[in-house]
Amino acid sequence: MKIVSIIPARFDSSRFPGKLMNLLGDKTVILRTYQNVVATDLFDDVIVATDNDLIFDEISKNGGKVMMTRKDHQCGSDRIAEAVADMEVDMVINVQGDEPFVDTVSLKNLIDVFYEDNKKEIALASLMTPLYKSEEVHNPNVVKVIVDMNNFALYFSRSTIPYVRDNEKPSHYFKHVGVYAYRKQALIEFSEQEITPLESVEKIECIRYLEHGKKIKMVVTESLNFEIDTPSDLARAQEYLNQLNLI
């Protein structure tokens, strides 16, 4: 299979405008994410897809691959669908531009879902990680996911799911990590569909796939993942980077 990773990189984040061009250590967030994905050596190509000249120049001047896309995309998956439309590829891995620490093992496990899917029944897979802190469970910036007995997603929400009616708490809450693996055709079909009602309410793009009756295979990762959505997230990521540099 030919596998590419496309990193959607929008400048105008509603919660933290320009976050991808903020420094994390001595590199911008987007450059650190790009170089980290390249370093996994899992992909035939890694490309940043952006709508912004600053991000384009940042990747280009540091020797990376980048392409300009339209500004009117509603989500990252729509942006990468434009990027890969004319590429001859089998699989597309969507790593968000604000995920600077996504690790090789997690990405490999995600890709392996498709190598093991001999009947080609799975068209989309994503990552989830256990939540251990109450403040994360109840934080609307942390997207939660619930799954069936075979680890297919039942629903994603910014609310706390599952809701505990009595005192019997679930063994784990799971956070959705915004890394997706698509078969190319599934990605193109996704981008051609209108935004669905629940997707619009929650502002979670993968709900669109569920609302159309499709399945999303979820893969558990125990690796620490940072999505930089707010200035406080960036500060936390800087602390984590400092710890890594001391090891």
pLDDT digits (tens, 9 = 90+) for 54-75: 999 999 999 999 999 999 888 8
User: What confidence score (pLDDT) does residue 170 get?
Assistant: 66
Inter-axis angle of helices 29-39 and 53-61, to 10 degrees?
50
Most confident of 15-24, 55-64, 225-234: 55-64
Instruction: Report the b/e string of 7-43 with b at 16+ CB within 10 A.
Output: bbbbbeeeebeebbbbebeebbbbbbbbbbbbebebb
pLDDT at 246 over 60: no
Question: What is the reported pTM?
Answer: 0.92
Q: Does domain 3-246 have CATH number 3.90.550.10?
A: yes
